[in-house]
């Protein structure tokens, strides 16, 4: 990455935080609020992640990124953190908050970015270092959660955004093993939520999605229409271009370093759309079967 990118990078930060929010955002968190927050629990053994309570009572999860010294590394880390915002917005296209709404705060020097998300209420007294599926082990409950996941729109979301940190890499059964599911939280109502998207926009964790999951993904009002009208490659590129001063060659470079394949996301979105539209066509055929063609007897019925 060229050093000049630094300027665009730092310039863009203020805009990024406000991206798309014209009305006051009730989830927004400021640096000052965070500084005055009380730490309730450390949440990660290898990263600086903690559950904190703001003075206004809100509970948030704060993930502090590594501090970097050069502009290139800062840019790459920023790009990875920004994935959280993009995946959240992709969910919103179909009216779903698969991923919690993030606030991204950048240190005054620009060398460190902090991710803040509202706490997902899992009903547990404390969050584990490892996510729900992990801690359940290979039990009936975990297997039933895995089945739920494969019928839930979340698995389609994963497929489209290419959630790169959904399954542990270890073990040949990784894909099918409930004990190896990561970064899925189950809320009090049994709803599934996705976290930890630094490795998104790569290869999806599985090659296809179930019919039930596709139907679930598009169950929201107008979800299909809105999704169809959106070019996800463009959405992603438009998010990242300001970071590199609108330079497409620099964008390609940034994508290589940050592991972003915007083409792949758009391609998979189209695949899923096609699958859904085929299902709609099937449904329509079932509801309105074509009447069998009448047999014609030439000569009869004529005067």
Q: By the criterion CB under 5 A, which residues form the site for Mg ion?
A: 183, 196
* Position among 34, 40, 43, 174 found at the interface with ligand ADP (CB under 6 A): 43
* Position among 5, 136, 186, 195 found at the interface with ligand ADP (CB under 6 A): 195
Q: Is 79 in the site for ligand ADP (CB under 6 A)?
A: no
As measured in angstroms, the least distance from the Cβ of 45 to ligand ADP is 7
Residue list 119-148, contact with ligand ADP (CB under 6 A): 119-120, 127-128, 130-131
* Position among 49, 104, 181, 265 found at the interface with ligand ADP (CB under 6 A): 49
Task: Report helix, strand and coil shares of the chain as percent, to nearest 5.
Answer: 45, 10, 45
Query: Among residues 47 and 230, whose Cβ is nearest to ligand ADP?
Result: 47
**Dihedral, CA atoms, 148, 154, 156, 159, nearest 10 degrees?**
-110
Query: Among residues 81 and 239, whose Cβ is nearest to ligand ADP?
Result: 81
Contacted entry of Mg ion, ligand ADP, none for residue 128, CB cut-off 5 to 8 Å set by kind: ligand ADP
Residue list 100-119, contact with ligand ADP (CB under 6 A): 100, 117, 119
As measured in angstroms, the least distance from the Cβ of 135 to ligand ADP is 9
Which of left, alpha, beta for 182 (phi over 0: left; psi -120 to 50: alpha)? beta
Contacted entry of Mg ion, ligand ADP, none for residue 49, CB cut-off 5 to 8 Å set by kind: ligand ADP
Burial degree of 133 (CB within 10 A; 0-12, 13-18, 19+): buried
Q: How many CB atoms lie within 10 A of CB 277?
A: 13
As measured in angstroms, the least distance from the Cβ of 293 to ligand ADP is 58
Q: How many CB atoms lie within 10 A of CB 173?
A: 11
8-state DSSP, 210: -
User: Is residue 175 within 8 Å of 159, Cβ to Cβ?
Assistant: no
- Contacts with ligand ADP by CB under 6 A: the residue count is 19
Q: Which span (39-47, 170-178, 201-209, 214-222) binds ligand ADP, by CB under 6 A?
A: 39-47
Which of left, alpha, beta for 21 (phi over 0: left; psi -120 to 50: alpha)? beta
Q: Is 183 in the site for ligand ADP (CB under 6 A)?
A: yes
Two tokens at 75? 């840019």
* Position among 8, 13, 40, 47 found at the interface with ligand ADP (CB under 6 A): 47
Long-range contacts, stretch 32-36, CB < 8 angstroms, 24+ apart:
34/60, 34/62, 34/105, 34/114, 34/116
Two tokens at 246? 């609108």
Residues interacting with ligand ADP, by CB under 6 A? 43-44, 46-47, 49, 61, 63, 100, 117, 119-120, 127-128, 130-131, 183, 185, 195-196
């Amino acid at each position: 990455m060229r050093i000049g990118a630094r300027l665009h990078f730092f310039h863009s930060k203020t805009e990024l935080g406000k991206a798309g929010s014209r009305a006051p955002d009730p989830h927004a968190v400021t640096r000052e609020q965070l500084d005055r927050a009380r730490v309730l629990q450390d949440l990660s053994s290898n990263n600086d992640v903690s559950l904190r309570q703001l003075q206004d009572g809100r509970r948030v999860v704060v993930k502090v990124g590594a501090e970097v010294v050069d502009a290139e590394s800062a840019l790459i880390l920023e790009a990875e953190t920004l994935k959280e915002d993009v995946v959240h917005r992709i969910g919103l296209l179909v009216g779903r908050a698969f991923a919690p709404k993030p606030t991204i705060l950048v240190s005054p020097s620009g060398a460190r970015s902090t991710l803040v998300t509202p706490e997902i209420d899992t009903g547990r007294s404390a969050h584990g270092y490892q996510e729900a599926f992990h801690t359940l082990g290979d039990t009936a409950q975990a297997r039933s959660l895995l089945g739920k996941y494969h019928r839930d729109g979340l698995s389609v979301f994963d497929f489209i955004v290419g959630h790169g940190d959904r399954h542990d890499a270890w073990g040949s059964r990784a894909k099918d093993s409930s004990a190896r599911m990561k970064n899925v939280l189950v809320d009090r109502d049994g709803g599934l939520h996705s976290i930890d998207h630094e490795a998104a926009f790569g290869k999806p964790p599985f090659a296809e999605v179930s019919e039930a999951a596709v139907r679930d993904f598009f169950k929201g009002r107008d979800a299909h229409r809105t999704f169809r009208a959106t070019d996800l490659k463009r959405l992603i590129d438009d998010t990242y271009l300001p970071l590199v001063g609108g330079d497409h060659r620099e964008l390609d470079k940034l994508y290589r370093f940050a592991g972003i394949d915007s083409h792949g996301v758009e391609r998979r979105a189209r695949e899923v759309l096609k699958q859904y539209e085929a299902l709609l066509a099937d449904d329509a055929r079932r509801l309105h079967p074509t009447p069998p063609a009448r047999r014609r007897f030439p000569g009869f019925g004529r005067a």
